[in-house]
Amino acid sequence: MQIVDVRTIPLSYRCELPYGSAGGMQQRRDALLVEVETDEGLVGLGEAGGPLATTQAVVEQQLKPLLLGEDPLLIERLWQKMFLRTRAIGRRGLLMYAISGVDVALWDIAGKVARLPLFRLLGAYRDTVEAYASGGFYQEGKDAAALAREAAGYAALGYRAMKMKVGRNPAHLTQSNLREMQVDPERCVVSLEEDLARVEAVRKALGPEAKLMVDANCVWSPALAIRMGLAMEPLHLYWLEEPVATDDLRGSAEVARALSIPVAGYETETSLYGFRELIAQGAVDILQPDVSRAAGLTECRRIASLGQAFNLMVAPHSFSSAINLVASMHLLASLPNGLMLELDQNPNGLRTDLLKEPITVDHGGCVRLPEQPGLGVELSQEAVDRYRVG
Ligand SMILES: [Mg+2]
């Protein structure tokens, strides 16, 4: 079997109201799907993260020429070829995002050839994964009471775990470069006290048993992260996500040592080598590679194996289309150290409308893996046409 084409499908969704994290406000959600076609008519599907047109150029101009005519089932060899032939301009970031999309598409083909859903092809540890509601964003007019109502809504849907945002307090940032990280720093700003009150209100709404996580999106200094973390310790948080800048490994390790709350991260890191440093320096207690950024299922499974050698769990970051979501489900279900599935609660047609059979959560907050071959899902052509851009 040979690869005869590599194509991309850029998709974009615009929601009604902007919402924000410590990193910035957003109203648009993009996803770049990648299709790899073989001479036997099989088409594999993946998703690559990053800015649409830029990642698209990398996939089509850098990676496609390396793939045409190759056997799609030599996934490891093709992964190494893509990684090594682009090493001078790659190794981290955008190139890894592009490789991710191709890698998942190759695995989708392998699953279809083997007639097995990916999680089973990869050695299945479970066929159901626990999901957490990823919400609690900042929004104009959303105060602590509104946030508590949002949290109670997730609990009513069956979720037993929820993540919310913290850190939109630019006045307290002491490192000048961290200010540069924030888009729209003047909107939806809260004081440190208000931030703590919001987390407290959500804990109250969820009750003591639910898992509650907070995400600072890399903006705090280590000192501020420790101060806020200590203040939140009585609220029994399940993890504190990306407390400090991705490259401040020593700072993140300081936070991890100072707090009883586990530190999770970093969705902003890519590749086995990136995660090797996070692990080696004790910068994280929970690993959060993203299948559409960290270089695909191949690399995320390597990251997970390295994590297992250090008794670390994996909770893949997933905040994009249904294709990224379902790839994350297969990764999680294949791992002995898989923790929980991130299920974004913001309005996003690329997550909710893109599949003929959408992913649903049962009343226990769990998601069952599809049993069809490969990723096990089919795109709705109508939805693709509706959201396609460029
Ligand atoms: Mg995050």
Q: What separation in Å is there between the alpha carbon of 280 and the centre of ligand 1?
A: 21
For residue 266, cis peptide bond before it (omega within 30 degrees of 0): yes
Residue 243 pLDDT > 80: yes
Judge whether 290 counts as a catalytic residue. Answer: yes
Q: Measure 342 CA to ligand 1 centroid, in angstroms.
A: 10
What does the pLDDT look like over 170-224, one tens digit per residue? Answer: 888 877 677 777 777 789 999 999 999 999 999 999 999 999 999 999 999 999 9
Considering the chain, what is the average pLDDT of its residues?
Answer: 96
Share of the chain above pLDDT 70, in %: 100
Tell me the CA end-to-end span of the chain in Å, nearest whole number.
31
Tell me how far the alpha carbon of residue 319 lies from the centroid of ligand 1, in angstroms.
Answer: 9
According to the 3-state scheme, what is the secondary structure of the chain?
CCEEEEEEEEEEEEEEEEEEECCEEEEEEEEEEEEEEECCCCEEEEEECCCHHHHHHHHHHHHHHHHCCCCCCCHHHHHHHHHHHCCCCCCCCHHHHHHHHHHHHHHHHHHHHHCCEHHHHCCCCCCEEEEEEECCCECCCCCHHHHHHHHHHHHHHCCCEEEEECCCCHHHCCCHHHHHHCCCCCCCCCCHHHHHHHHHHHHHHHCCCCEEEEECCCCCCHHHHHHHHHHHHHHCCCEEECCCCCCCHHHHHHHHHHCCCCEEECCCCCHHHHHHHHHHCCCCCEECCCCCCCCHHHHHHHHHHHHHHCCCEECCCCCCCHHHHHHHHHHHHHCCCECCEEEECCCCHHHHCCECCCCCCCCCCEEECCCCCECCCCECHHHHHHHECC
Single out the catalytic residue among 35, 103, 342, 344.
342
User: How open is the CA angle 182-186-188, to the nearest 5 degrees?
Assistant: 95
CATH fold for domain 3-115: Enolase-like; domain 1 (3.30.390)
- pTM, entire model: 0.97
Active site residue 267: yes
Is the pLDDT score of 390 beyond 90? no
- Residue among 290, 299, 330, 344 flagged as catalytic: 290
Residues of the chain with CATH 3.30.390.10: 3-115
Which of 165, 269, 299, 330 does the annotation list as catalytic?
A: 165
What is the 388 CA–ligand 1 centroid distance (Å)? 26
> Whole-angstrom Cα distance, residue 97 to residue 296?
8
Residue 277 annotated in active site: no
CA of 179 from ligand 1 middle (Å) equals 18
Ligand 1 midpoint to CA 318 (Å): 9
**215 labelled catalytic:** yes
Decide if domain 120-387 falls under CATH 1.20.1090.10: no
Give me the catalytic one of 64, 112, 142, 317: 317
Residues of the chain with CATH 3.20.20.120: 120-387
Give me 378's structure tokens: 């089919």
Cα-to-centroid distance, 166 and ligand 1 (Å): 10
CA of 317 to the centre of ligand 1 (A): 7
Q: Which of 30, 37, 254, 267 is catalytic?
A: 267
> What pLDDT is recorded for position 175?
73
pLDDT for 263: 98
Q: Is the CB of residue 198 less than 8 Å from the CB of residue 250?
A: no
201 closest CA partner among 242, 142, 159: 142
Ligand 1 centroid – CA 242 distance (Å): 7
Tokens found for residue 262: 């586990």
Active-site residue, 330 included: no
Per residue in 122-153, pLDDT (tens digit) is 999 999 999 999 999 999 999 999 999 999 99
